[in-house]
Amino acid sequence: MTVRTLNGGVIAAYRDRLSIPPDVEAIHINEGNTPLVHLPAVSDRKRNIDVYAKCEGLNPTGSFKDRGMTVALSIASHNGSKAVICASTGNTSASAAAYAARAGIQAFVVIPAGKISVGKLAQAMMHGAKVVQIGGNFDDAMDIVKRMPEEAEVTLVNSVNPFRLQGQKTAAFEVVDQLGCAPDYHFLPVGNAGNISAYWMGYVEYGDAGIVGAKPRMVGCQAARAAPFLVGAPIEEPETIATAIRIGNPQSWNLANTAVIESNGWFRSSDDEKILTAQKLLAERCGVFCEPASAVSIAGFCDEIEKGNIQDNSVVVCTLTGHGLKDPEIAISQSPEPITIPKGGEGLRDLILSSLD
Ligand code: AN7
């Protein structure tokens, strides 16, 4: 197996495995090559179950979207596109804005007003995207932007654009290249359902190429009140504190369903409280800070192992799709307030001593 150590972005690293024209010039910001971090506090030593986090928050804009956006913007630029558009719960808009900036293309992002985290909004604004907000939710925004390529000269860069999934499948390649094999289970958050579809595509392609034998069971993790795959149909009013995955009508429904069925996996959901508990567990006991939507994969794993649904001697990968700093408000609201002391420092010694008792 070739172990890729290139850090010039996912197109440079995996070009031979991407369905893109050979003369496309890569618009990249050195995305990909993210760490696969062992999580001792989540693993189960007695049962020999090892859990790793694929830390996608370490991509240039802080989420996995960059893998897809480098390909989508490279193709848009190659085709002479002057503008790109997406609907977003936040991360897609941040990534589209950054890669569009890099390409010298105007980005338009349509977001649900008041429902995207402050970090993501800051990114889209800072990178020069035209930020458009609507009173509806992500699904309403998606309906609007899908019409736009027919009405204006603009390229749609949501994951219904197949080049997005081409880029995002490289995460599965990297997991295999880093582990030396495929994991037995792969847990990941599911919102619009592009990412689980892309991972499965990557694993299948590595399987077909003879690079892996067995492929993982894909476990799609949703938030309890935004879980159309658990309901078996789109839902009108999705709600969750994990705003990134507050999506009721996933665009890649069929691909995601196929991924779960073919891999002998399953969909599952966690309520907001469990999501926040998992986020805190990761931060406090593993030193890893992810956003709430990402923690749904850890919440999912913790629940499934407790129910006895994970076999002994397994390797598990959970994708942490976005960085914790994306959503500082959630983090602060969950944590105790800072302790104020006088500027001379009185009381600090006692505080330390009493904490160590
Ligand atoms: C942190 O940014 O849909 O199932 O518009 O930001 O591939 O949609 C974000 C999705 C998981 C779900 N984790 O991935 C958007 C958007 C985080 C995310 C997902 C998203 P998909």
pLDDT tens for residues 341-355?
999 999 999 999 999
Average pLDDT over residues 4-13: 81
CB 42 within 8 A of CB 302: yes
| Phi (first) and psi of residue 275, to 5 degrees | -65, -45
Identify the CA nearest to 222 among candidates 260, 258, 168, 184. Answer: 260
Which ranges constitute the DSSP H helices of the chain?
Answer: 10-14, 65-78, 91-103, 118-126, 138-151, 162-168, 170-179, 194-208, 228-231, 253-262, 272-281, 292-306, 328-334, 348-356
Average pLDDT over residues 92-117: 98
- CA-based angle 244:336:347, to the nearest 5? 150
For the chain, what is the mean pLDDT?
Answer: 97
The whole-number pLDDT of residue 357 equals 80
The whole-number pLDDT of residue 51 equals 98
Task: Tell me, in angstroms, the distance from the centre of ligand 1 to residue 70's CA.
Answer: 16
Q: Quick check: 232 pLDDT over 70?
A: yes
Q: Quick check: 4 pLDDT over 70?
A: no
Q: Whose CA is nearest to atom 18 of ligand 1?
A: 244
Residues 6+ apart with CB under 8 A from 325: 62, 119, 289
Identify the CA nearest to 296 among candidates 246, 336, 343, 261. Answer: 246
The whole-number pLDDT of residue 40 equals 98
Identify the CA nearest to 240 among candidates 259, 267, 221. Answer: 221
Give the C-alpha distances (Å, rounded to integers) separating 2 from 114, 180, 212, 283, 332. 45, 10, 12, 33, 43
Q: Quick check: 123 pLDDT over 80?
A: yes
Task: Tell me, in angstroms, the distance from the centre of ligand 1 to residue 189's CA.
Answer: 8
Strands 155-156 and 36-38 turn out to be: unpaired
Q: Quick check: 253 pLDDT over 80?
A: yes
Mutate which of 66, 91, 330 to test ligand 1's pocket (most atoms within 8 Å of Cβ)? 91
